[in-house]
Amino acid sequence: MDVPQAALSPIKWAGGKRQLLPQLLAAQPSSWNRYLEPFAGGAALFFALRAPGAYLSDTNPELINMYRVIRDDVESLIAHLRRHRNEAEYFYAVRALNPESLTPTERASRLIFLNKTCFNGLFRVNSKGKFNVPFGRYQNPVIVNPDRLRAAHRVLQTAEIVEADYSAVLDVAQPHDFVYVDPPYVPVSTTANFTSYTADGFNWSDQVQLANMVRQLAQRRCYVMASNADVPAIHNLYRGMWIQVVPVRRAINSDATKRSGATEVIITTYPVEGAHRS
């Protein structure tokens, strides 16, 4: 299923789902009421679905602020993004700014600028919650894409955008809602642990609690789809659900030749063609 470029997320996000959109769209329920995504991240599936009245949440305050600004004041954001320069000294000056001292528009502009010009487009913070990715030295990065931002603005108009832990979705989910759960993955190796989108990380205990929440939502007659790493521990954790193994290429590497192939799983609480019940 082709997805128009303008429908994609306005930012690149580690763990983003642009490459898996055809499989995710094919695995959605045949009908549903409201779309809820408690690990919004790049929200690629949301933008592809153009789901009206959606619920998007994340614990990352920079991300949530950006989506709110795109929804509420996109023209001011576009104007501010046009002021940025692709220069190392300027990049580090912007990176050093305290986001909390900025206006919402300045804060959103800072995030998008850093995302477009930092090494690998990887959003990562240290233990103090400070963005710490170096300058990417790209020749001509597209810092502002007005068409994509305006497309995102239109899709976000009716969205509820919340800074919250994933478990807050339990307060809003209703029968026949479609909940897509895309947490930080269980690492398949000690060098693949991209959980630093917030300062808190995400551990195995969180994975277990998340699986329990998925079961609670299923008992509530919600349709739940989850993504995670294709490892035995995840297959066991979601036993009794439908699991589809899908190939994927890791996007977070500046050298395209070093982006290795891998597999992930799409887990659903409802039957999907091509999936097996674990």
Longest dimension (CA), the chain: 54
End-to-end CA distance of the chain: 27
**From the centroid of its chain, how far is CA 183?**
9
Cα gap 151→46, rounded to integer Å: 12
Please say whether the structural domain 5-277 has been given the CATH code 3.40.50.300: no
Instruction: Name the token pair of 172.
Output: 């809003």
pTM for this entry: 0.89
pLDDT at 260: 54
Would you state the torsion angle of the CA atoms of residues 121, 13, 74, 131, taken in this order, to the nearest 10 degrees?
Answer: -60
Q: Is 17 annotated as a binding residue?
A: yes
Instruction: Name the token pair of 10.
Output: 């306005």
pLDDT at 9: 84
Question: Among candidates 12, 249, 207, which has minimal Cα distance to 124?
Answer: 12
Return the half-sphere exposure (C-beta side, CA atoms, 13 A cut-off) of residue 34. Answer: 15
Q: Where are the alpha helices (DSSP H) in 18-60?
A: 21-26, 44-49
Q: Is 182 annotated as a binding residue?
A: yes
Instruction: Name the token pair of 138.
Output: 């790209």
pLDDT at 33: 98
pLDDT tens for the 278 residues of the chain, in order? 444 544 568 888 877 788 899 999 999 999 999 999 999 999 999 999 999 999 999 999 999 999 999 999 999 999 999 999 999 999 999 999 999 999 999 999 999 999 999 998 877 777 777 889 999 999 999 999 999 999 999 999 999 999 999 999 999 999 999 999 999 998 876 444 444 444 457 889 999 999 999 999 999 999 999 999 999 999 999 999 999 999 987 554 444 434 456 899 999 999 999 999 98
Instruction: Name the token pair of 118.
Output: 């930092």
Q: Is 58 annotated as a binding residue?
A: yes
Question: Among candidates 166, 186, 191, which has minimal Cα distance to 41?
Answer: 166
According to DSSP, the β-strands at 242-249 and 276-277 are antiparallel
